[in-house]
Each structure stands twice: as C-alpha cells, then as structure tokens.
Amino acid sequence: MLMLQLTDGIHQIQGMEYQPVPVLHSNLPPGTKITVHGNVAYRLGVLLLKPENVKLLGGEVDALLEEYSQERVLARLLGEAENPDSVGQPGHEQIVPGPVDELGQALGPSDEDTSKRMCCTDSI
C-alpha cells in the first residue's frame, strides 16, 4: 500500500491505495505525473485510490530526485546523517536496509506486525 503526496501545483493532498493500483509502485521517480478521475472516495483528508481512478502519465522532477532519493529518505527515517555527495553516484542510488525488525523498531509501533509487512511512502 502506498501513501502519496499529490499536488496540482497549488494545493496538496494525500492519496492512498485503497486497492492495489498496478501502475503505482515504490520505484516511481518523485514528480511522476498521474491523473485522478472518476468518483474517488475521500476520507479523513485522504483520497482512496483504486485502479480505475488512476492513469500514469510519467515524467519526473529533477529537483525532487535528489531530495527524495531512497538513500536520503531512509537516512532521515533512521535518524542518520545524510550524505549529499553520494546521491546519483554509481552504487549509491539506494540503501539496502537491515533486517525488517530493526527498521520496524526505528519507525516505532504500528497496528500491523512490521516484521511481516511494511508500508511504503512515495512522493508524487
């Protein structure tokens, strides 16, 4: 399940996969363009996205690529110092996290068992 930050350039809103949306995945580059259409449920400030409501247009925003690289996001989540020089260099596109149990402890308690399932966040 992905939680997305969506914007039209003026307003920001969150969207969440209410059902699996095949065109949305955690490897989409930041700034990827999508269209949201049809009747979309909206609960507690979040659009609940279904496959029939989302069309992937593509694209990316260079300014967001560095800020939201997997390495930097994971470093922020783990409370570690970010290495701005490593982003975009070979071998530094992403950090491979340790065991899921360690990551779950770093993120804190959850309603779900983090050792079996992790929820991903993506910025679009």
Condensed to tens digits (0 to 9), the pLDDT of residues 58-117 reads 887 887 777 777 788 788 888 887 666 655 555 444 444 444 444 444 444 444 433 333
Non-local (6+) Cβ contacts of 122 within 8 A are 2, 3, 4, 24, 26, 28, 30
- What residues are paired with 15 via a beta bridge? 4, 47
pTM above threshold 0.85: no
Q: Domains plus CATH for the chain?
A: 1-60 (2.40.50.770), 69-108 (no CATH)
Mean of pLDDT values over 37-49: 95
Mean of pLDDT values over 42-67: 89
- What residues are paired with 33 via a beta bridge? 58
Q: How far apart are CA 86 and CA 119, in angstroms?
A: 26
- For residue 1, pLDDT over 60 is answered with yes
Instruction: Name the nearest CA neighbour of 49 among 73, 83, 18.
Output: 18
For residue 121, the surrounding DSSP H or E stretch is strand 120-123
Q: How far apart are CA 52 and CA 61, in angstroms?
A: 25
